[in-house]
A and B are shown apart, each in its own frame.
Chain A
Amino acid sequence: MIEAEADTPILDVHDMTVAYNRRPVLWNVDLTIRKPGLTAIIGPNGAGKSTMIRSVMGLVPMVSGTVTAWGEEIAKQRHRIGYVPQRGSVDWDFPISVFETVLMGTFGNLGWFRRPGRKQKELASQCLERVGMQDFANRQIGQLSGGQQQRVFLARALAQEAELYFMDEPMAGVDAATERIVFDLLKSLSEEGRTIVVVHHDLRTVPEYFDDVVLLNVRIVASGPVDTTFNSANLQATYGGRLSILDTMAEAVQKQKETE
């Protein structure tokens, strides 16, 4: 359904460095995704996995680097990009129903001032059905379990009808049933020719479900197809502790910039 544009990569991240409080937390990330499929970003806690996808989408400012999607700036391709944030990032007590939440996914393509009409509402119900949450459509979102909340976020992303998805730990703390549903969904999305980048924490499920893997620990240790990249040497390099020199450098940069 989606035609691969000959040579321009779907996503191209070049020399992306991100700093919090002037201290680099993500070093010189270079990543190119050329063909649709499922990509997992894995790495230890504090490796900057979420930071990476958040800065790729422009939610966190970069110190240096460029990000392009289909050869153009991310900002110009937003309608083709979907996002599933971490569950902890919103106020679940917000007075909104499951259906209304999913409907929000359609707002991006709707544009300013226009109200969602019948078409959007149908789309939202379909998306809700795909994640098996149609029976909860009128619940307030706070009354759902963690896994159900995650599925609502997924449905909302589906309603964005994007070609490139970023998902921040969609499997964190969900029940087995949800995990099953989420993986099936990711699979079918990928079969439809979409590209999905998932921040993931469960190493065991990586070979089973993903096509590509990015091993991240403050910098990209390795990236490529799961078959060749997901090996014990790379995992050792990723999980075997932080690089002390990078820490020293981060401190030096922060200090110089503060008290030159």
Chain B
Amino acid sequence: MDIPKDRFYTKEHEWASIEGGTAYVGITDYAQSSLGDITFIGLPKIGDMIKQTEFCATVESVKAASDVYAPLSGKVTAVNKDLVAHPELVNKHPYDKGQIFVMEISNPDEKANLMDEEAYRSYVEGLSK
């Protein structure tokens, strides 16, 4: 299970890589592997105001559709348009080319609600028991 040390995680298996006031957001390796082949990504719109823990995007696999929840609150500033034609990038590269969107963070304190690599790893291990 690939869980990079340089980012933060939610219980719903989103990741956020935070650089100053900007966060890069995607879903984790665990999430993509549980979903199986991803066939469609419903991207947020640039300018959308999103709130931590609330719905912000959709990921569909052959078998099911899943909601993506915002890891932090703020404004969507960029979306990964490559995923429209190539949603499988999320399966192949969940932490870089499969990144879903970029946001401007409105409340940096919310980072405290996220897990670091170590906490997320033990959380995922607990799920598979």
> Do A and B assemble together?
no
Q: Which residues of B contact A (CB under 8 A)?
A: none
